Amino acid sequence: MRAADLRGGDSLAGLLDALGGTQATPSRAARSSESERLLRLALAQLGPDQRRAIELRYLHGLSVSDTAARMDRTERAVRSLCVRALIRLREILGDAV
């Protein structure tokens, strides 16, 4: 897991970039809507803590420290939740993103 994968974002597209890299291609842009739908389904399969950490960090764009404060967790715990959640999302989604 790269440190860049733990950066925040403000959309599902940002989370998709974290899951699949940042290569922008025409075919990837065309699949974006379907990928976002699949991502929403995959997020629903995460445990509640992993899902909340991902939502706060990537969908709401909060920092690790702000996410930790909202979740009443340490920063280390939030980083760990995010890493495990991203790995799980990649497993669920496979080549879909």
CA distances (Å), origin 4, targets 16, 28, 30, 70: 13, 20, 25, 22
**Distance between CA atoms of residues 89 and 23, nearest Å:** 18
Closest CA to 53 of 67, 72, 73, 39: 67
The reported pTM is: 0.69
Q: Which long-range contacts (CB under 8 A, 24 or more apart) does 2-5 make?
A: 5/83, 5/86
Domain 3-96 has CATH 1.10.10.10: yes
Instruction: Render each residue's pLDDT in the chain as its tens digit; 97 residues.
Output: 444 444 444 556 667 666 665 556 666 566 667 778 888 899 999 999 999 999 999 989 999 999 999 999 999 999 999 999 999 999 998 876 6
